């Protein structure tokens, strides 16, 4: 598995990470087989969140790996907090600290490699976030910090107060959900793709050495569906199949390789819980699409070149 630097953390991480949101739907046996396959593929970076099954995903994971000190040192564990499901977002010092304690208990570990703050809290007081991060770092409970679903100005505001470098921003990104790309391509135009929906966050992250982590890499819309094999995207799927044959792989790998081809060194968060599908996605790390192939997929997904 190819590795990339995670922001300014000094860590090298696999370019394909394992999203664990679906683990709560698996039996312990199936979860164990899935995690074993991930580790076999070199995908030892696991992304969690306290709202995934209200902690059940993390509990299933801990049982699946048979968490122990010797096992823990082989893993890179990331989790997220800040969402109180169906009620509010909460970046208060008290909520962050209590959430991390719960996460560590569920994962049966003493520390997280990375903690992300999930979804921007409109009532965030950055001084409180800074206090929470300092306490967690001093206690050895969290080693590195980042965010999820935040735009440039929000990152800049938080970084003004937080002493630790923000190492990652987890953002929705796929062939069909590529406004981070189109807004930079259709500059100064009245087209739909020209709308800057994220404050040029991709460029900002590159300038600031913040790793973009791509979630829902195979979905279109906001959890509307998967574009792979969908009759809503016939041209895109035709090109994916053609390139899959050329590279002797699956269309899943080509769609993932499109994300990994970008020079921002994006980390892809896979959402599958199927060992075979994860193997297909991991194969993307071995594929480097040509510039012509990358743009051909971009156009086939419905974007334009001015």
**How far is it, in rounded angstroms, from Cα 306 to Cα 303?**
10
3-state helix, strand, coil in the chain (%, to 5): 45, 20, 40
In the block, residue with structure tokens 């600031």:
208
In the block, residue with structure tokens 């935040």:
150
Residue 50's Cβ-count burial label (10 Å; 0-12, 13-18, 19+) is: buried
Q: Is 250 left (phi over 0), alpha (psi -120 to 50) or beta?
A: beta
**How far is it, in rounded angstroms, from Cα 202 to Cα 167?**
14
In the block, residue with structure tokens 């599908």:
277
Q: What is the DSSP letter of 279?
A: H
32, 76, 282 from 240: Cα distances, Å: 31, 31, 16
Instruction: Map residue 69 onto helix, strand or coil.
Output: helix
Is the separation of the CB atoms in 253 and 228 below 8 Å? no
Q: What is the DSSP letter of 141?
A: S
- Which phi and psi (to 5°) does residue 81 adopt? -145, 170
Residue 127's Cβ-count burial label (10 Å; 0-12, 13-18, 19+) is: exposed
- Give the active site residues: 52
- Which phi and psi (to 5°) does residue 151 adopt? -95, 175
């Amino acid at each position: 598995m190819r590795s990339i630097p995670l922001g300014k953390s000094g860590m090298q991480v696999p370019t394909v990470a394992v999203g664990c949101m679906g683990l709560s739907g698996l039996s312990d046996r199936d979860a164990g087989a899935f995690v074993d396959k991930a580790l076999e593929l070199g995908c030892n970076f696991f992304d969690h969140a306290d709202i995934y099954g209200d902690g059940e995903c993390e509990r299933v994971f801990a049982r699946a790996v048979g968490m122990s000190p010797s096992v823990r040192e082989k893993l890179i564990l990331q989790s997220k907090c800040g969402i109180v499901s169906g009620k509010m977002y909460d970046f208060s010092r008290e909520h962050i600290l209590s959430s991390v304690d719960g996460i560590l208990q569920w994962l049966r570990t003493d520390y997280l490699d990375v903690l992300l703050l999930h979804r921007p809290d409109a009532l965030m007081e950055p001084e409180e976030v800074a206090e929470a991060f300092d306490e967690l770092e001093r206690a050895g409970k969290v080693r590195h910090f980042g965010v999820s679903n935040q735009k440039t100005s929000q990152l800049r505001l938080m970084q003004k107060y937080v002493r630790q470098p923000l190492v990652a921003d987890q953002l929705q990104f796929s062939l069909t959900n590529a406004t981070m790309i189109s807004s930079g391509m259709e500059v100064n135009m009245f087209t739909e793709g020209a709308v800057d929906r994220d404050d040029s966050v991709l460029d900002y992250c590159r300038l600031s050495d913040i790793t973009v982590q791509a979630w829902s890499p195979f979905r279109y819309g906001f959890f509307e569906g998967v574009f792979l094999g969908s009759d809503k995207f016939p041209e895109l799927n035709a090109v994916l199949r053609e390139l899959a044959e050329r590279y002797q792989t699956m269309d899943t790998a080509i769609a993932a390789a499109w994300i990994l081809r970008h020079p921002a060194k994006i980390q892809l968060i896979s959402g599958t819980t199927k060992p075979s599908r994860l193997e297909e996605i991991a194969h993307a790390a071995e594929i480097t699409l040509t510039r012509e192939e990358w743009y051909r997929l971009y156009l086939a997904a419905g974007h334009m070149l001015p």
